[in-house]
Chains A and B, each alone.
Chain A
Amino acid sequence: MKRTSLTVACVLAAILSIAPPARAEGLHRFAVIVGNDTGGSDTRPLLYARADARKVHDILTRLGGVAAADAQLLLDGTAQDLLTALAQTERRAAEARARGERTALVLYYSGHAKDGALRLGDTRLPLDSLRARVAASPVDVRIAILDSCKSGELTRTKGETKGARRAPAFQIQAEGPRDAKGLVILTSSSSDEDSQESDLVGGSYFSHHLASGLLGGADKSGDGRVTLFEAYAYAYERTVADTAETAAGPQHPTFSYDLAGNGDLVLTDVAARREGVYLPREAPGGVYYLVDRQGYVAAEIVKNEGDRRIALPPGRYRVKRRLADRLRVGEIDVSSGQMITLDEGRLRDAPFSDDPVKGAMRVDVSRWSIGVGGGFQAVFDAPTRESLFPPTGLFGVELQLRDFLRRDWVWGLDGAIGGANGAVPLSTTGGAAAFKFNELSLASSLVVEWPHRTLTPFVGGRLALLLMTRKFDGDAFPPQYFSTLSPGIVGGVTLRLSRSFGLVVRGRVHYLLYNVDENRSLGFWELQTAVSYDL
């Protein structure tokens, strides 16, 4: 299998070297891009499927000739949502075709697949029906890219063998009988392989390398355009190389086509964009990693003898090139509308311990979020609640770090302040001493969460440092304070409101050791709601 696919890649690469210049003009492109981290209760949530979809959406709309209005990005949708989006896009494509335009449809999917069906949350879409649906789409060129486990089944359903058929050169032209028409399918793995994600790159291996290729890394011809075959060959080679040593074993993307005509199909035009990083011919060869500000490897480019244009969006990037005994690292700012040349003088020697990609991994797998909210706290014991620690409203902020210690573990720091009025009955006078109660809570928590599509339940432990004070009306008595460490448990659920915002509802139960008058074991509960924002 591995040998076969490698052969295919070599053949494709050879074909590319003699292919005529690719053209994209005159082809009205549409795209449906789907990402879903969840695949039902019998699957473990993915981390980066939605991120992969966003990345591909960005590349196709920025470099791939797909107008924003012609691209549908569907995140965490159902199978029906996918079919609906496909139908809407097909209608638009049919209208364009009716106007005499040539049309192309790109369907990209990143998510779960199992038992011969795509898994979109709790819904399923059989691969057979998907293939039939795409094949029947009323467009000239159909391109389906599936990044999911055992996605090679999609190519096999056509009766092909695992791996890819040899692809002839073809060219898409605006008019004429030689325009390419038909169906192309790219999958991230063969029919019996899992598709793997990488915390290092913040995505799946396949989509990461496909994206790097589309950004310019795959432009082997050096003409500033990345064709379908170039992109596949690049993604294939890099994916196999990166997964060769993983625990899950090597992953072999597959390629299937059923096209009439010849020539190659240009997927991205990095030269026309004139924005990004330019690796001149004289720059040393090797693999260049460009890490964005969030710590993700935005592009992983293999440079050989020729030059390379990497059509990165504006921003600051850390650059790394690995040598046998050291790293070459540096930073580069890409301004809007500028192609910045990365010459060797921008880089400096650095030990392996300063590997920005290694560092990025730590950041990549961790996600910070902040939240603000309010809640209510009360001691279980009624007499204590009525005279010692009155029920209190709390307003707080929290900072959470996800997947830092372990995947799906959330380490949180939170602080809250609150106040209430209370009164102590005094047996010595028969009256009561009214007081104003204040509380400051600083806490650290560690919870485990089970991410789902919209609801993420969590449960864990919490350790709070409580500082409670009270001041008596009229200064009848001196102010009093009490501080203690209070362990507790926490549980709740996060409702995902949008990509970055969530609504958190949680309950806490804490132990409180009170030791001033006497040693007493108390407990209190809290109910809290907060709005969280992922940084």
Chain B
Amino acid sequence: MTSRRLALTLAVLCATGAACGNYSNEDLEFMNALPESSDLRVNMPAVTSAVELANEAELAKSTHDTTRGLNGLLMGLVGIVDAVRSYPPTGRTATSRIWGPFPTDRAKMKNLDWETKMIVSRDVTDLGRFDYEISAHHDGAADTDWPVLISGWFQVGKTARRGMGHVELVTATARAEGYDTSDLGTLDHLEIDYDTSADPVMVTMHITDLPAAGSADPAPTAAFTYAQNASGQGEMTFDLIGNFILVTTAVEDLRITSHWLGTGEGRADLTVISGDGAGAQQTECWGRSFQATYNNKPWAQGEDVPGSPPGDPADFCPVIPPLSGP
């Protein structure tokens, strides 16, 4: 009787005690190779009052609107990665970690017959290089049919900061198989390149929208290059390509380059590179309350600040040094 009791006790202990768990240092390396939305987020001093909002300079507002849109896109894209990396991997190989497959978000009542997974792989010859992809699988499709939604890579930097990487969202293949991408709006293709290995951090985005339904115009595209240092000083150049000026059907290439200080003061230069109004330029500066201190808008001289003609911008615009580390 005594021996039986002892054996039973040991059996229970053994049954409950098989080595298992997710306690891993390597997992952290794989998870750390994935971009966080906070790494790539565009940080521009924000409008803090209704008065400022009402008097906000035109191009400052355009820059704010653009940063909000970009950050929204980042949340949509990299937020998926963030969500996945908040869980430990469900599978491991010597050179990879696997999350999933997981069912899609049931709460949204979309893609109920799809599941997703993420694989992060480490380059065996360059341990500082990681590649990853998030793919989706439709129930009933071939086991190997996992169209990729998001892919990317990360290269460990040589400094104490993170490194450089690339993230790409491609909806075409999955959408073709019936994957509902309505959450992404008209977004068709998004690429993000970033380099956070040194100050200032650099982020470049290329966005391609789906063509507007019933329109013969090509799909609008946009490219953003953003840089910021630790003091809050930043700059962003965004190119918008599309038929924005409806004088003719010509496709315009608009480029806006914004610079700002950590205190909020800034300057933006808009140039119509091609298309209707090619060569036109607008320069606008603003102070700490984002109210225009200078505006030279040749095609709407009534909006010039402080008057028409507005004068030398050097007299009204903040001095913004070249972007460099603090």
Contact = CB atoms under 8 A, between A and B. Distances in A.
Interface of A: 387-388, 404-405, 411, 424, 426-431, 433, 442, 444, 463, 465, 468-470, 477-478, 480-485, 513-518
Contacts of A426: 28-29, 32
A428 B23 contact: no
B248 interface: no
A513 B16 CA distance: 15
Contacts of A483: 17, 19-21
A433 B85 CA distance: 15
Contact of A478 (B19, B21, B88): B88
A517 B31 CA distance: 14
Contact of B22 (A411, A444, A480, A513): A480
A431 B29 CA distance: 11
Contacts of A411: 6
A79 B47 CA distance: 94
B160 interface: yes
B102 to A, nearest CB: 14
B184 interface: no
B2 A484 contact: no
Nearest to A485: B17
Nearest to A446: B6
A424 B25 contact: yes
A143 to B, nearest CB: 43
Interface string B148-164: 00000010110111110
A463 B13 CA distance: 9
Contacts of A433: 28, 32
B27 interface: yes
A480 B24 contact: yes
B19 A515 contact: yes
9 contacts: A388-B23, A388-B25, A411-B6, A426-B32, A428-B162, A429-B160, A480-B21, A484-B21, A517-B24
A516 B29 contact: no
A514 B26 CA distance: 13
Given A428-B156, A428-B162, A480 B16 contact: no
Given A477-B28, A484-B17, A517-B24, A431 B127 contact: no
Interface majority SS (helix, strand, loop, mixed), chain B: mixed
A204 B207 CA distance: 94
Contact of A427 (B87, B94, B127): B127
B127 A482 contact: no
B88 A428 contact: no
Interface string B62-98: 0000000000000000000000011110001010000
Contact of A516 (B16, B92, B128): B92
Given A482-B20, A483-B21, A428 B27 contact: no
B247 interface: no
Interface in B2-59: 2, 6, 9-10, 13-14, 16-29, 31-33
Contact of B128 (A387, A427, A485, A515): A427
Given A482-B22, A483-B19, A485-B13, 16 more contacts: A424-B28, A426-B28, A426-B32, A427-B29, A427-B128, A428-B162, A468-B23, A480-B22, A482-B23, A483-B21, A484-B20, A484-B21, A485-B17, A485-B19, A515-B20, A517-B24
Given A431-B160, A444-B9, A481 B32 contact: no
A20 B21 CA distance: 83
Contacts of B156: 427-429
Contact of B10 (A444, A468, A480, A515): A444
A119 to B, nearest CB: 33
A418 to B, nearest CB: 16
Interface in B131-166: 154, 156-157, 159-163
A465 B13 contact: yes
Nearest to B15: A485
B86 to A, nearest CB: 6
Interface-centre pick from B27, B87, B92, B161 (highest chain A CB count, 10 A) = B27
B16 A465 contact: yes
Interface-centre pick from B17, B23, B29, B85 (highest chain A CB count, 10 A) = B23
Contacts of B31: 477
Nearest to B22: A480
Nearest to A431: B160
Given A516-B21, A516-B92, A478 B29 contact: no
A178 B169 CA distance: 118
Given A404-B2, A405-B2, A481 B29 contact: no
A485 B14 CA distance: 7
Interface-centre pick from A388, A428, A463, A482 (highest chain B CB count, 10 A) = A428
A483 to B, nearest CB: 6
A444 B31 CA distance: 37
A482 B13 CA distance: 15
Contacts of A482: 19-23
Nearest to B21: A482
Contacts of A477: 27-28, 31-32, 85
Nearest to A472: B28
Interface in B91-145: 92, 94, 127-128, 130
Contacts of A515: 19-20
